[in-house]
């Protein structure tokens, strides 16, 4: 039987946390190391982030692993990244499964090398029935591309007569994006001090809280994760509404 990590969740823990894992290359450059070394160090933080999320009672953790724009990086670096991905899945899938983690992959599946596509499918299929943290890996992912793909799917449904165009609403689009059936992220974290979304979850992050961490991703340890969660706990989330004053009796 798969084991479930013990939760130490605060009452106001976010249900869904998404992380833009930024700064691997700069971390390596600062140490006179090749960028690949930074990416490998970043993988270790992925493992720790999953464990920390489970312990904190976070139900969904989305990690921006490889964007659709990252293909424009030097070929050697892209090749190294693909090798790291292969290594991570082959080595860690059994452990993730034993820890009751469910894996879901976001992003476009076209034009991906067949063995990587097969590994991603294996990760999803093998962990499909797990009930612990859902780990969503955004691979070959870009939010604008996601919205284009969702739009095409909706148009096809209308053309086929399965959907009334007049009935299209926000829920319709949410049902056709890669995170269909998953709650929107409560918290988006970005490491390395950069303060932008970089084409990540543009639709889903409409009301997310943002925490920008100064540390580079390979330095984003358990303590840094908890610092981000503590910052989230101090936020007053109103979702566009005006809070109703809580007036004491007789005031």
71 is in an annotated binding site: yes
**Is 125 labelled a binding residue?**
no
Instruction: Judge whether 128 is annotated as a binding position.
Output: no
69 annotated as ligand-binding: yes
d(CA 48, CA 225): 10
39 is in an annotated binding site: yes
25 is in an annotated binding site: yes
Of the candidates 50, 48, 61, which has an alpha carbon nearest to the alpha carbon of residue 15? 61
Q: Is 111 annotated as a binding residue?
A: no
How, if at all, do strands 209-212 and 60-67 pair?
unpaired
Q: Which of 22, 80, 92, 178 is catalytic?
A: 22
SS3 164: coil
Location of structure tokens 């969503």: 136
Per-residue HEC secondary structure of 47-78 comes to HHHHHHHHHCCCCEEEEEEEECCHHHCCHHHH
Considering 12, 29, 70, 129, which one is annotated as catalytic? 70
List the strands of the sheet with 134-141, edge to edge.
102-106, 134-141, 60-67, 16-20, 187-190, 209-212
- Is position 70 annotated as part of the catalytic site? yes
Do the annotations mark residue 22 as ligand-binding? Answer: yes
Annotated binding-site residue? 91: no
Q: Is 27 annotated as a binding residue?
A: yes
What is the rounded distance in angstroms from the CA atom of residue 123 to the CA atom of residue 104? Answer: 8
Assess whether 227 carries a catalytic annotation: no
Question: If residue 43 lies in a helix (H) or strand (E), which one and from where to where?
Answer: helix 35-55
**Residue 16 marked in a binding site:** no
Whether residue 162 is annotated as binding a ligand: the answer is: no
Please give the full DSSP string across 197-250, using - where no structure is assigned.
-SSSSTTTTTT-EEEE-SS-GGG--HHHHHHHHHHHHT----TTPPPPP-PPTT
Beta-bridge mates of residue 61: 17, 135
Per the annotation, binding residues are: 22-27, 35, 39, 67-69, 71, 73, 190, 196-198, 209
Would you name the residues annotated as active-site residues?
22, 70
Per the annotation, binding residues for substrate are: 23-27, 35, 39, 67-69, 71, 73, 190, 196-198
Per the annotation, binding residues for Mg(2+) are: 22, 209
């Amino acid at each position: 039987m798969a084991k479930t990590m013990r939760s130490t969740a605060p009452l106001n823990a976010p249900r869904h946390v998404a992380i833009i894992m930024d700064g691997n290359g700069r971390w390596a450059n600062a140490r006179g190391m090749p960028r690949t070394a930074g990416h490998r160090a970043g993988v270790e933080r992925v493992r720790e982030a999953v464990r920390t999320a489970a312990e904190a009672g976070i139900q969904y953790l989305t990690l921006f692993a490889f964007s659709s724009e990252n293909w424009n990086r030097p070929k050697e670096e892209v090749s190294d990244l693909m090798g790291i991905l292969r290594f991570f899945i082959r080595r860690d899938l059994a452990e993730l499964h034993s820890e009751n983690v469910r894996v879901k992959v976001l992003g476009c599946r076209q034009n991906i090398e067949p063995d990587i596509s097969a590994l991603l499918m294996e990760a999803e299929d093998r962990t499909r029935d797990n009930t612990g943290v859902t780990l969503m890996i955004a691979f070959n992912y870009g939010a604008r591309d996601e919205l284009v793909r969702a739009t095409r799917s909706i148009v096809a449904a209308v053309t086929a007569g399965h959907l009334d165009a007049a009935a299209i609403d926000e829920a319709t689009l949410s049902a056709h994006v890669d995170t269909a059936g998953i709650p929107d992220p409560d918290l988006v974290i970005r490491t390395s001090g950069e303060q932008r979304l970089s084409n990540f979850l543009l639709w889903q992050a409409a009301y997310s809280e943002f925490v920008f961490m100064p540390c580079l991703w390979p330095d984003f340890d358990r303590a840094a994760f908890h610092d981000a969660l503590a910052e989230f706990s101090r936020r007053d989330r109103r979702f566009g509404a005006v809070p109703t004053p809580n007036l004491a009796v007789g005031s």
